[in-house]
Amino acid sequence: MKFPKVQSLQEIANLLQCEFIGDKDFPVLGMNEIHVVEPGDIVFVDHPKYYDKALQSAATIVLINKKVDCPEGKALLVSDDPFRDFNTLTKHFKPFQFANVAVSASATIGEGTVIQPNSFIGNHVKIGKNCLIHSNVSIYDHTVIGDNVIIHAGTILGADAFYYKKRPDGFDQLISGGRVVIEDNVGIGALCTIDKGVTGDTTIGEGTKIDNQVHVGHDSVIGKKCLIASQTGIAGCVIIEDEVTIWGQVGTTSGITIGAKAVIMGQTGVTKSVEGGKSYFGTPIEESREKLKQLANIKKIPEILNKLK
């Protein structure tokens, strides 16, 4: 997430009421999670296990809960609670905007696009040409939709990320300030939920088709011309490359990559990254031919036991 204008390190420290290490005029361009940071971004870290990863990342400003040596060319914001202060920045630079109409006046809707009754189009949404948005679809603020997109009834684009920090008195939510981006010629079935990124984009690539009742978690990127069948659950920060086929009731863990043209068979649990161009099945996931051989061998166990007796 980029800020509307360049901020100084001093300005950000004043906003957070925290100490800083570095030039007070050090430029701050935005804020992002570790997997999408760029120079000029703030990244936060609040556990020693991840200090090095954050300090050596592409981010040039690190919001951290301990004074440490600052890498050359970077700056630090020293906070007693980086998680809280990351939320403070999101609320400041991308505050929630109240809506009181079904289609926001700030939304941009392309020629030939049809929006059926009872749908909600939020603030600063962009919808391209010749789209069909069926009834009872909710499109949250800042969502971007390309041309020739079909979205069926009851689907929600842009709900918050499922991202919490456990506290002694409960859970604090990491506030989502990212977007959902739907590229051209995408089809999305009924009752799907696609969460926005925490600071970046959740993206559905051109020509991808998604069945009913599919969930896509925050910051995940789905490539071009993928097929995703019903009741699939894709966790946050997953990369699905082009032309992947995912059959029904598949679930994934977060932070993995599914290679191009892979086929994930029904009811598979994708517990790790997998190469493209192969077929997979089972939990934990394995190449489908190997998994099916294992299942066939398991069926022989009673016969083997009888022989041993």
Distances (CA, A) of 293 to 47, 51, 53, 296, 297: 43, 44, 41, 5, 6
Q: Which residues of the chain have pLDDT under 70?
A: none
Are 281 and 292 in contact, with CB atoms under 8 Å apart?
yes
CATH of domain 2-93: 3.40.1390.10
Are 234 and 252 in contact, with CB atoms under 8 Å apart?
yes
Catalytic residue from among 142, 152, 215, 218: 218
Sheet arrangement for strand 209-210: 114-115, 132-133, 150-151, 187-188, 209-210, 227-228, 245-246, 263-264, 279-281, 286-287
Among the residues of the chain, which ranges form H helices? 9-16, 51-55, 82-93, 288-299, 301-308
Q: Coil, helix or strand for 258? A: strand
Q: Are strands 75-78 and 19-21 parallel, antiparallel or unpaired?
A: antiparallel
Residue 10 CA to its chain's centroid (Å): 30
Cα separation, 161 vs 196, whole angstroms: 6
Query: In a 10 Å sphere around its CB, with 0-12 CB exposed, 13-18 middle and 19+ buried, how is residue 216 labelled?
Result: buried
Active site residue 218: yes
Distances (CA, A) of 174 to 18, 161, 262: 19, 8, 32
Q: What is the pLDDT of residue 67?
A: 95
Q: What is the pLDDT of residue 295?
A: 85
Question: What are the domain boundaries of the chain?
Answer: 2-93, 108-292
Average pLDDT, the chain: 96
Model confidence pTM above 0.95: no
Is there a shared CATH topology between the 2-93 domain and the 108-292 domain?
A: no
Q: What is the pLDDT of residue 289?
A: 87
Backbone Cα Rg of the chain: 23
Q: Which of 289, 251, 287 is nearest to 271 (CA)?
A: 251
Fold category of 108-292 in CATH: UDP N-Acetylglucosamine Acyltransferase; domain 1 (2.160.10)
Q: What is the pLDDT of residue 278?
A: 97
Q: What is the pLDDT of residue 156?
A: 98
Entry field: residues in the chain:
309
Q: What is the pLDDT of residue 293?
A: 87
